[in-house]
Amino acid sequence: MVMFKASRVETTPFDGQKPGTSGLRKKVKVFTQPNYLHNFVQSTFNALSAAKVKGATLVVSGDGRYFSKDAIQIIIKMSAANGVRRVWVGQNGLLSTPAVSAVIRERVGADGSKASGAFILTASHNPGGPHEDFGIKYNMENGGPAPEAITDKIYENTKTLKEYFIAEDLPDVDISATGITSFRGPEGEFDVDVFDSATDYVKLMKSIFDFQSIQKLLACPNFTFCYDALHGVAGAYAKPIFVDELGAQESSLINCTPKEDFGGGHPDPNLTYAKELVTRMGLNKEHPQDNPPEFGAAADGDADRNMVLGKRFFVTPSDSVAIIAANAVQAIPYFSSGLKGVARSMPTSAALDVVAKHLNLKFFEVPTGWKFFGNLMDAGLCSVCGEESFGTGSDHIREKDGIWAVLAWLSILAFRNKDNLDGKTLVTVEDIVRQHWATFGRHYYTRYDYENVDAGSAKELMAHLVKLQSSLPEVNKIIKGIQSDVSAVVKADEFEYKDPVDGSISKHQGIRYLFEDGSRLVFRLSGTGSEGATIRLYIEQYEKDSSKTGRDSQEALAPLVGVALKLSKMHEFTGRSAPTVIT
Ligand code: G6P
Ligand code: ZN
């Protein structure tokens, strides 16, 4: 057995190693500075209780972006020197964020071991490559991101760190082949267990969904399917699940080879960045398609986000979670005994609220960020949740789950078509959405993103909007002057949340203008960008009259958009006459 020593290396702190709940995200050139990653990893070890380090089992993997392989070797060597007992690595360093969550919760090692945490190496939907982003975040033993108490402690540690520990003489471990390699160090044996990236996750999915019914749907001659992994880690799951288990054609998978630079693209599944899929699905007016697939979906770099499309039809994430909640009990075996409750983030449309009311379900509106759902789930209060930012998931794990969302939609389609698989008239994605609107009403919804705006100007715009809120008569006077036929603002505030489980209060979670007819304007600054500021403007309008739910959403929302842009003085503050992305 190869022996190793633990070396103590002196270091000095770096500024700005403050992790959010999505971890620490920086350009690769920042991460590759000598000691930069080391400092963050040691600060994390020092923030955890000794039991979570000494003798512990840790998962280390990610979306495979540039610098991941080097980072994995560094973290293995530091784990060894810090007394970790074993490190679990997905083959080639690949594990999607939801798969990491599943592995922490479900995987049992050959010797009965269970993981107590994970380093996930990802910058999610941000581009990858030598000039792009890298990221690292720590997840806890419930499978969810470290809570603020831990991330704050990590940050404090980064500011005073003087030393880290590393097994410099430990040879690099071959992570391209599965198997266990054992070493011996000062504190005893240390193992690196490289395992198949998909097995545990596939097993979990099979315990949630009725794979046979989905298989039948995919075998139906006029049900065509397309999945785009945008060269992210979802590609490592797409073939095992959609092709090997469910029988989809291999040609229905596009961009499903994980790449370190995501093929040069922006691995974010939305109408702007998932270009190839959007064109295939017949949604690109410049390239009309004769016969697009019936169902299309995409994932982001680490496969926790999803976009669902029908033939020439976009399903908004806000509608998607509402439709999944409305159909879950009938269509998905995991939920057959009922939903514990449902939840959405504040800027997500109120489509889910209407379903919750109708089904008499517990309902929660939380700030943006998956961690708020995790608390509700750990307390048994929430089964299904979602965000407008293309995140959908359930209490099967503690992260949002891109492939789960696709399987949920395929389950609903399979259920709706179960007596109809002879290939005659298929109930389509669009049918399901339109029927949903006819039953529950429609929340017309759009989001305008202004990316990479000057940070100072973005703050000024937000301050202006907060100031306006002090006088509703003044707000309504301005609005009438812009657009006389929109309803009046009845409430304006900054969203604040008191967590029903731990009682913690989160303030300043977005600026809201709530209208008498249920319409909403919400303004937020993104918490995930890496350059300048991103202003997000969310626009929503509720239509109950089923004869009016079929309009084009941009057209239906145009008056409210006009109000939002003028009320916020968007052009004056940012110099922008159009958003960078519209979803
Ligand atoms: C990440 C989080 C999501 C959150 C999103 C918001 O993806 O995991 O829970 O909704 O960021 O991003 P934003 O850029 O709007 O702050
Ligand atoms: Zn992601």
pLDDT in tens, 51-104: 999 999 999 999 999 999 999 999 999 999 999 999 999 999 999 999 999 999
Pocket probe for ligand 1: among 97, 302, 370, 401, the residue whose CB has the most ligand atoms within 8 Å is: 370
Residues 239 and 342: their CA atoms lie apart, in Å, by 31
Name the CATH architecture for the domain at 442-582. 2-Layer Sandwich (3.30)
CA distances from 110 to 106, 195, 199 (A): 13, 11, 14
154 C-alpha vs ligand 2 centroid, how far in Å?
A: 22
449 C-alpha vs ligand 1 centroid, how far in Å?
A: 13
pLDDT at 217: 95
Q: Where are the beta strands (DSSP E) in 112-205?
A: 117-121, 133-139, 163-166, 179-185, 188-195
CA distances from 322 to 155, 342, 429, 519 (A): 37, 9, 14, 18
> Angle 532-535-541 (CA atoms, 0-180°, nearest 5)?
170
**Per-residue pLDDT reduced to its tens digit, 244-283:** 999 999 999 999 999 999 999 999 999 989 999 999 999 9
Name the CATH architecture for the domain at 2-197. 3-Layer(aba) Sandwich (3.40)
201-440: what fold?
A: Alpha-D-Glucose-1,6-Bisphosphate; Chain A, domain 3 (3.40.120)
Exposure letters 381-390 (e unless 16+ CB within 10 A, then b): bbbbbbbbbb
Query: Contact at 8 Å (CB) between 370 and 391?
Result: yes
Residues 468 and 361: their CA atoms lie apart, in Å, by 35
Residue 421 tokens, joined: 């698989």
Residue 299 tokens, joined: 């994932």
370 lines ligand 1 (CB under 6 A): yes
CATH 3.30.310.50 in the chain: give the residue spans: 442-582
pLDDT at 423: 62
207 C-alpha vs ligand 1 centroid, how far in Å?
A: 28
536 lines ligand 1 (CB under 6 A): yes
CATH 3.40.120.10 in the chain: give the residue spans: 2-197, 201-440
Half-sphere exposure of 496 (CA within 13 A, CB side): 7
Pocket probe for ligand 1: among 450, 528, 535, the residue whose CB has the most ligand atoms within 8 Å is: 528
- Within 10 angstroms of residue 8's Cβ, the number of other Cβ atoms is 11
- Entry pTM: 0.95
526 lines ligand 1 (CB under 6 A): yes
**pLDDT exceeds 90 at position 136:** yes
Counting from 1 in the atom list of ligand 1, the atom nearest the Cα of 534 is 14
Q: Is 485 exposed, middle or buried (0-12, 13-18, 19+ CB in 10 A)?
A: exposed
369 lines ligand 1 (CB under 6 A): yes
By DSSP bridging, strand 384-387 and strand 391-394 are: antiparallel
Instruction: Give the residue numbers annotated as catalytic, written as ranges.
Output: 124
Q: Is 172 exposed, middle or buried (0-12, 13-18, 19+ CB in 10 A)?
A: exposed
Residues 327 and 212: their CA atoms lie apart, in Å, by 18
> Angle 485-490-496 (CA atoms, 0-180°, nearest 5)?
130
Confidence class of residue 538 from pLDDT cuts 50, 70 and 90? very high
Residue 52 tokens, joined: 């979570």
395 C-alpha vs ligand 2 centroid, how far in Å?
A: 17
Is the pLDDT higher at 209 or at 425?
A: 209
Closest ligand to residue 120's CA: 2
389 lines ligand 1 (CB under 6 A): yes
